Amino acid sequence: MTGLPVLEISGLNKSYGAVRAVDDVSLHVNRGEICGLIGPNGSGKSTFFDCATGLTRPNAGTVKLDGQDITGWSLNRIAREGRMLRSFQKTVVFSALDVEENLVTAGQMFTFPGLWSTFGIGAMARARVEALQERAREFIKIAGLWDVRHQPAGKLSGGQQKLIQFASMLMPEPKLILLDEPMAGINPKLIERVVESIRFANQKFGVSFLVIEHNIDVVTDICERIVVLDQGRKLAEGTPDEIVRNQAVREAYLGG
């Protein structure tokens, strides 16, 4: 776990008018680590994610991925070149595409060298797509979606869509995945499933994680290190034990 952190964010600032959503926040994620990001509602976690992943432009601060400065990169560039992916709070899939197509689409921009190559019709393009399809089918089997794999993703249940979303993010073999409240709206039985998936991806594929989550049990269970935000500022950082015992953190969550 030593060496350059896979993600290093320094001095991130984002204001909306007079409101400081993110106030000088710095954090890092070590390679192969599962890091948690918690904080009361409105503490700036989602805004922080949006800034880190290129959905929003921060007012100040730098974001470095494996040492490379990616501040100001667009969402698609960070995903494609940086191999840093993110999920969304609301589970979204490509509704009109079936499960297999969803996964293939999620992986396409990582095997095709550029926009124009995706228009290709030759043997190379077909081979790439076939490789993606095979990989997709493996994930589909693991996720238990084999029977519904040709159904349009929009018709599946919320839990199934969540699995599709997760599998989509593993298609490109990313370095780092930012999960935005992965347990939100899942029934308790599936939570264990999602936790397993995260561990599986982390251990088998070496994917690092930064997870926003409200479910403290899950966070203390899977995260090796936790960062706490409150009102846009970093409040505390440490191992799950340290954080749980931290007085300021307890006040932030319980106090006003």
Partner 1 sequence: MSPRDLSLPAPRWDLRLPFGIALAAAACLAPLFLGNYALHAIIIALIFLLPAHGLNLLVGYTGLLSLAQAAFFGIGAYTSALMAVHFGTPFYLNLIAAGAVAGAIALPLGIPALRLRATSFVMCTLGFVIIGQAIAKNWIGLTRGDMGLSGIPKPYFALGPASFTISGTTSFYYLVLVIAVIATLAANLIVRSAAGRNMVAIRENETLAESVGIPTWRYKLVVFMISAVFAGLGGSVYAHYLTVVSPLTFQMYYSTTMLIIVLGGGAGTISGVVFGSLLFVGLSEALRVAPEVRMIAYGLCLLALVFWFPKGFAPLIDRFWSFLKERK
Interaction of residue 96 with partner 1, rule CB under 8 A: yes
Interaction of residue 104 with partner 1, rule CB under 8 A: yes
* Residue 54 dihedral angles phi and psi, to the nearest 5°: 90, 5
Interaction of residue 86 with partner 1, rule CB under 8 A: yes
Which uninterrupted H or E stretch holds 249?
Answer: helix 247-254
Considering beta carbons, is residue 74 or 239 the nearer one to partner 1? 74
- Piece in contact with partner 1 (CB under 8 A), picked from 28-36, 58-66, 91-99, 245-253: 91-99
Beta bridge partners of 7: 29, 65
Contacting residue, 106, 167, 170, 229, with partner 1 by CB under 8 A: 106
Contacting residue, 35, 51, 93, 194, with partner 1 by CB under 8 A: 93
Interaction of residue 203 with partner 1, rule CB under 8 A: no
The 3-state DSSP class for residue 35 equals strand
How long a stretch of residues is the chain?
256
Q: Within positions 130 to 189, which residues make up the interface with partner 1, using CB under 8 A?
A: 168, 172
The DSSP symbol for 175 reads S
Instruction: Please spell the DSSP secondary structure of 44-111, one letter per residue.
Output: SHHHHHHHHHTSS--SEEEEEETTEE-TT--HHHHHHTT-EEE--SS----TTSBHHHHHHHHHHHHH
Contacting residue, 12, 51, 85, 236, with partner 1 by CB under 8 A: 85
Q: Within positions 112 to 141, which residues make up the interface with partner 1, using CB under 8 A?
A: 112, 115, 117-121, 125, 128-129
Q: What angle do CA 124, 125, 130 make, to 5 degrees?
A: 95
Interaction of residue 55 with partner 1, rule CB under 8 A: yes
User: Which residues in this chain contact partner 1 in the complex, by CB under 8 A?
Assistant: 53, 55, 74-77, 79-80, 85-86, 88, 92-97, 101, 104-110, 112, 115, 117-121, 125, 128-129, 168, 172
